[in-house]
Amino acid sequence: MKTFPIGGIHPSDNKQWSKDKAIEVLELPDSVAVPMIQHIGAPATPIVKKGDKVLTGQLIGEATGFVSANIHSPISGTVTAVDMLPNGQGQRRMMVVIKREGDEWVETIDRSTELKRACTLEPKEIIAKVKEAGIVGMGGAQFPTHVKLSIPEGQKANILIINGVECEPYLTSDYRTMLERGEMMLVGVSLLMRAISVDRAVIGVENNKPDAIAHLRKLVADGAYRGIEVMPLKTRYPQGGEKQLIAAVTGRQVPPPPALPISVGAVVCNASTAVAVYEAVQKNKPLIERVVTITGKHLKETHNYLTRFGTPYSTLIERAGGLPEGDVKILNGGPMMGRALVNLSAPIMKGCSGVTVYSDGDALRGVEQACIKCGKCVNACPIGLEPYLLARASKLQKWDVAEEHNATDCIECGCCSYTCPSYLPLLDYIRIAKQTVMANIRARANKK
Amino acid sequence: MNELLLTALTLSVLGALLAVILYFVAQQFKVREDPRIGEVEKMLPGANCGGCGFAGCRAMAEALVSRDDISTLYCPVAGGEVMKAAATYLGKAAPEKKPQVATLRCGGSCQKRQKTNKYDGAKSCAVVNTMYVGESDCAYGCLGYGDCAHACIFGAIKMNPETGLIEINPDKCTACGACVRACPKQLIELRKKWPKDRAIYVACRSRDKGAVVMKACKAGCIGCGKCAKVCPFGAITMDGSLAFIDSEKCKLCRKCVNECPTGAIHLINMEPLAKEPKEAKAPAAPAKEEVKVETAK
């Protein structure tokens, strides 16, 4: 069975807590705060003001520049504020606050549940629709999808890879999406193939999700979806990383940044993103909701909810029966890539695939000790970096050393910190080095 | 015996020959350097802190010697006396700058600013700052992991575990600015150094609105603007909901200190003005009365 060539870890997947919970529709929130930045790139510009009436699916934030994404209203009601408000990490971001009045949708959106397979649109039209709908990568990175699909002049894609890996422990939103919204996803995949003019697509699914593999294979076997293949992959983190997935599926290695996956002819999209593309192209529905897992070992209940963006994290926590006693850590995402939350009244965004609650001793990190030079982090790094060295260089602010040892190639998967027996916060330091080195490189380029 | 003599003779001749060659080579490839650079470098403190903006004291000395106008160059560590001496030596006009001292513009100690979460990642302000706002609700306050203290090569900055804030020793501080660059929240400012280390400054940089500040911290500037109205020298300006005291214009009259409802204006090494006269003894301070009326408007 295929997987990526170097590094990686295999943490216990802990998906049993929520994997059998069918997708439920979360009741609409009374009020939402919609951040104008829910993607990588330039923040959107709010085009509504206080007192405006908005409908569900109406454009409220316009993309500024090419690498940016539109933002639509997830509910209908009145705008009560356009202000800088704290996000999940407490950082102030521009948000549009909307108070809900009923649930009136924009007329052009087709709300029927009937599956619409046929599509005669040109690739350009599909990309335009994806852009219009404000679709971003829903695996967590939140990279605008239309940018990915707009293949630069002189380059050509020959394979579309769909990320159904969900290598992150605990999370089950992509898994449930593949099981329950599989047909929608496959239509979405066909549309994506059309958009980038390729005749082959591979859906990578890890083999800890056998029923998803079986279900998708059955659907594909129908013959309605030509060129789509479901490929089981050996369970290993971080297989969902773009480069790792390309290496696992095709054996091709993406060169270090600034090279993009397209340089080896591959385009990667997340499974949930494919569903969003289906809805945007066939139903004119902008990206205003997604499946979010709320999970944790000590929660009273776990769920997979279809959640409108802007719903506060606290609503999900309430639905799970509240927080457990003692020290808790609430993560936006899974335990490996997720960011801890300090502000639960902050809104859920496009990249939030789940909320994981850690408690009962799991919440705290181990006590930091000296590096014993065991080299476990080097073995675990899927890029082939030397995390102990980079972390040390970063701590001593030797940015030239960090640059020399390719700090900018780090994908921030956290395998090094996970595997360190001395509980060193390796990734924390490497992240700083990566940012500083990138800034230095940019500064040098500007000087020239 | 003959062999011994021959050896000595050969080596001597060879030595003399090589000496002559070396002499000419040395003349040919001589690095011509202004001897004044070395002299100026000796005058400088040799801390190589980078406070002047150059890579080290040598680079600074080179700049002092080579530039015609040295008014923009200044070594904060050595101070005015040394700069004057160097300028006199070089026959140029001495750069002038008043002495400065680093000041922490945050008053959110553990007692005043409640912790709302616990951080257990890498102990570095820079790391915390990339992840989130810090352990309190204030998005602008001191993170308390002492990146500035690590950056200070003069040992002027110490962490006070009781308040969770740093303390700057004005005697050791040379205003080199390393801490200013190290602080990811831009909380350290170089301010005018008064005699006896007196100081008045707004110990807050929160740009949040008053209500938000009050909720997060009991010592924050809520942007009421009372201090700006009471200042007779126009030294206090309001930028949004944050007051700023210009240390060049401030005359240490201390009127603003009593006006501040949250105690965000810190008064160092000075007695505050008596509070009573403002309320009770009207004739004692007629000027203040007028100001108060303005405030009411």
Structure tokens at B43: 């005058």
CB atoms within 10 A of CB A321: 13
Q: Which ranges constitute the DSSP H helices of B178-285?
A: 178-182, 210-216, 226-230, 255-259, 276-279
Residue reference for tokens 């020298």: B233
User: Chain A contacts of B208, Cβ < 8 Å?
Assistant: 92
User: Chain B contacts of A435, Cβ < 8 Å?
Assistant: 130
Residue reference for tokens 């602010």: A397
Residues of B with CB under 8 A from a CB of A: 116-118, 120-122, 124, 126-127, 130-134, 137, 139, 208
Query: What pLDDT does residue B70 have?
Result: 84
Contact A428 B131 (CB under 8 A): yes
Contact A90 B134 (CB under 8 A): yes
State the pTM of this model.
Answer: 0.85
Contact B131 A340 (CB under 8 A): yes
User: Chain A contacts of B120, Cβ < 8 Å?
Assistant: 364-365
User: Chain A contacts of B148, Cβ < 8 Å?
Assistant: none
Tens digits of per-residue pLDDT, B75-99?
888 888 888 888 888 888 887 778 8
Residue A438 has pLDDT above 90, yes or no: yes
Residue of chain B whose Cα is closest to the Cα of A87: B132
Mutation pick from A428, A436, A438 vs chain B, by most beta carbons of B within 10 Å, is A428
Interface size between A and B, measured as CB pairs under 8 A: 47
In sequence order, the 6+-apart residues with CB closer than 8 A to the CB of A183 are A115, A219
Question: How far is B21 from B217, CA to CA, in rounded Å?
Answer: 76
Q: How confident is the model at residue B291 (pLDDT cuts 50, 70, 90)?
A: very low
Q: Which ranges constitute the DSSP H helices of A106-206?
A: 123-132, 145-149, 173-180, 182-196
Query: What pLDDT does residue B277 have?
Result: 52
Residue of chain A whose Cα is closest to the Cα of B116: A342
Query: What pLDDT does residue B293 have?
Result: 37
Tens digits of per-residue pLDDT, B144-189?
999 999 999 889 999 998 988 999 999 888 888 889 999 999 999 9
Contact B126 A339 (CB under 8 A): no
Contact B139 A86 (CB under 8 A): yes
Q: How far is B181 from chain A (nearest CA, A)?
A: 13
User: Chain B contacts of A328, Cβ < 8 Å?
Assistant: none
Residue B46 has pLDDT above 90, yes or no: no
Residue range A167-174: mean pLDDT, rounded: 94
CB atoms within 10 A of CB B275: 9
Do residues B75 and B53 make contact, with C-beta atoms less than 8 angstroms apart?
no
Residues in chain B: 297
Contact A428 B120 (CB under 8 A): no
User: Chain A contacts of B118, Cβ < 8 Å?
Assistant: 327, 364
Given A90, A364, A365, which is nearest B132 (Cβ)? A90
Residue reference for tokens 């006009």: B93
Contact B122 A428 (CB under 8 A): yes
Question: How far is A307 from A291, CA to CA, in rounded Å?
Answer: 6
User: Chain B contacts of A86, Cβ < 8 Å?
Assistant: 133, 139
Query: What pLDDT does residue B281 have?
Result: 41
Contact A432 B124 (CB under 8 A): yes
In sequence order, the 6+-apart residues with CB closer than 8 A to the CB of A274 are A162, A185, A186, A188, A189, A192
Tens digits of per-residue pLDDT, A272-311?
999 999 999 999 999 999 999 999 999 999 999 999 999 9
Question: How far is B107 from B200, CA to CA, in rounded Å?
Answer: 13
Query: What pLDDT does residue B276 have?
Result: 56
Cα–chain center distance at A77 = 28
Query: What pLDDT does residue A286 have?
Result: 95
Mutation pick from A330, A412, A427, A432 vs chain B, by most beta carbons of B within 10 Å, is A432
Residue range A410-430: mean pLDDT, rounded: 94
SS3 A352: coil
Structure tokens at B154: 């003069």
Mutation pick from B113, B131, B132, B206 vs chain A, by most beta carbons of A within 10 Å, is B132
Contact A342 B117 (CB under 8 A): yes
Contact A90 B126 (CB under 8 A): no
Q: How far is A77 from chain B (nearest CA, A)?
A: 26
Contact B127 A425 (CB under 8 A): yes
Contact B131 A425 (CB under 8 A): no
Query: What pLDDT does residue B153 have?
Result: 87
Instruction: Tell me how far CA of residue B31 lies from CA of A257, B42, B61, B65, in angstroms.
Output: 43, 20, 17, 17
Tens digits of per-residue pLDDT, B55-71?
889 999 999 888 888 88
Structure tokens at B73: 């160059």
Measured CA angle at A245 (ends A356, A331), to 5 deg: 10
User: Chain A contacts of B122, Cβ < 8 Å?
Assistant: 425, 428-429
Residues of A with CB under 8 A from a CB of B: 86, 89-92, 327, 339-340, 342, 364-365, 395, 425, 428-429, 431-432, 435
User: Chain B contacts of A89, Cβ < 8 Å?
Assistant: 131-133
Given A89, A365, A429, which is nearest B132 (Cβ)? A89
Q: How far is B203 from chain A (nearest CA, A)?
A: 21
Query: What pLDDT does residue B34 have?
Result: 86
In sequence order, the 6+-apart residues with CB closer than 8 A to the CB of A267 are A148, A149, A151, A157, A159, A160, A161, A192, A196, A198, A261
Q: Which of these, B280, B296, B290, B139, lies nearest to B224 by C-alpha position? A: B296
SS3 A289: strand
Q: Which of these, B249, B133, B156, B241, lies nearest to B201 by C-alpha position? A: B249
Q: Which of these, A165, A202, A231, A245, lies nearest to A5 by C-alpha position? A: A245
Tens digits of per-residue pLDDT, A219-258?
999 888 889 999 999 999 999 999 999 999 999 999 988 8
Q: How confident is the model at residue A46 (pLDDT cuts 50, 70, 90)?
A: very high
User: Chain B contacts of A432, Cβ < 8 Å?
Assistant: 124, 126-127, 130
Mutation pick from B116, B119, B127 vs chain A, by most beta carbons of A within 10 Å, is B127
CB atoms within 10 A of CB A276: 29
Tens digits of per-residue pLDDT, B95-139?
777 888 999 999 988 889 988 898 988 899 999 999 999 999 899
User: Chain A contacts of B130, Cβ < 8 Å?
Assistant: 431-432, 435
Mutation pick from B131, B135, B153 vs chain A, by most beta carbons of A within 10 Å, is B131
Mutation pick from B114, B125, B133 vs chain A, by most beta carbons of A within 10 Å, is B133
Residue range B190-212: mean pLDDT, rounded: 91
Percentage, residues of chain B above pLDDT 90: 42
Residue A342 has pLDDT above 80, yes or no: yes
Residue of chain B whose Cα is closest to the Cα of A391: B122
